[in-house]
Amino acid sequence: MVDESQLKESQVWAWLESVPDPEIPVISVVDLGVVREVTVNADKVTVTITPTYSGCPAMSVIATDIEAELKKQGVTSLELNTKIAPPWTTDWLSEKGRALLEEYGIAPPRAAGTPEHCPLCKSGSVEKVSQFGSTPCKAQWRCLDCLEPFDYFKCI
């Protein structure tokens, strides 16, 4: 069991780095930008999360996974808050998270609203197949060179 009176916020953030997003398991909820704040007081740990969009079905899983990870680390008193304002934006994705998305085969979001290149072969010759992808936050694209389909994480 961890001595919560000696626990540092940086340690909680480090533990949360190991909690994967349930829809994109290659990226942590920290790198996704869902974990907004961590505070540690003598009697409890408070974690504030923000959904990627209103009604995100993964939020209950994320909350459960955060609770499980912190309990595994010995945290006995946890308060988990959901904050919807300001709303989540793809700007909250870390640079590490963007790189992990691309390595996984998902084109990271760009301000231009289109992928820079195919995450698989790096060709810039791509076309949109559908505004709707495997999850509501992604669109389906195809590379015109390698002919592989890929997800593009929509810019929000």
CATH number at residue 65: 3.30.300.130
One domain, residues 84 and 110 = no
The predicted pLDDT at position 30 comes to 98
Q: Per mean pLDDT, which range of 9-18, 116-125, 130-139 is the poorest?
A: 130-139
Q: Are strands 106-107 and 45-49 parallel, antiparallel or unpaired?
A: unpaired
Residues 6 or more apart whose CB falls under 8 angstroms from that of 64 comprise none
Instruction: Identify whether 38 is part of a domain.
Output: yes
Q: How far is CA 130 from CA 20, 50, 81, 134, in A?
A: 26, 27, 35, 10
Torsion angle of alpha carbons 36, 50, 14, 4, nearest 10°? 80
If asked whether residues 85 and 147 sit together in one domain, one would say no
- Both 75 and 148 in one domain: the answer is no
Q: What percent of the chain has pLDDT over 70?
A: 97
In this structure, the answer to whether residues 81 and 128 fall within a common structural domain is no
Question: Is residue 95, in this structure, part of any structural domain at all?
Answer: no
Which residue type sits at 149? P
The stretch 58-83 carries a mean pLDDT of 96
Q: Which domain range does residue 131 map to?
A: 105-153
Q: How far apart are CA 59 and CA 151, in angstroms?
A: 21
Give the pLDDT score at 133.
87
Domains in the chain: how many in total? 2
Under DSSP, is residue 48 helix (H, G, I), strand (E, B) or coil? Answer: strand
Residue-wise pLDDT tens digits, 4-63: 667 899 999 999 999 999 989 999 999 999 999 999 998 899 999 999 888 888 899 999
Is 77 within the bounds of a domain? Answer: yes
Structural domain includes residue 136: yes
62 contacts 21 by C-beta, under 8 angstroms? yes
Per the CB < 8 A criterion, the answer to whether 93 and 33 are in contact is yes
Q: What is the predicted pLDDT for the residue at 105?
A: 96
Could you say which of 90, 118, 133 is where a domain stops? 90
The percent of residues above 90 in pLDDT, for the chain, comes to: 81
Band (pLDDT 50/70/90 cuts) for residue 2 is: low
Q: Which sign does the torsion angle of CA 86, 89, 95, 100 carry?
A: positive
- Higher-scoring residue by pLDDT: 137, 142: 142
Instruction: Report the mean per-residue pLDDT for the chain.
Output: 93
Which pLDDT score, from 0 to 100, does residue 56 have? Answer: 82
Q: Say if 117 falls within a structural domain.
A: yes
Q: pLDDT value at position 50?
A: 96
Whether 97 is covered by a domain: the verdict is no
Q: How many CA atoms lie within 13 A of 122 on its CB side?
A: 1
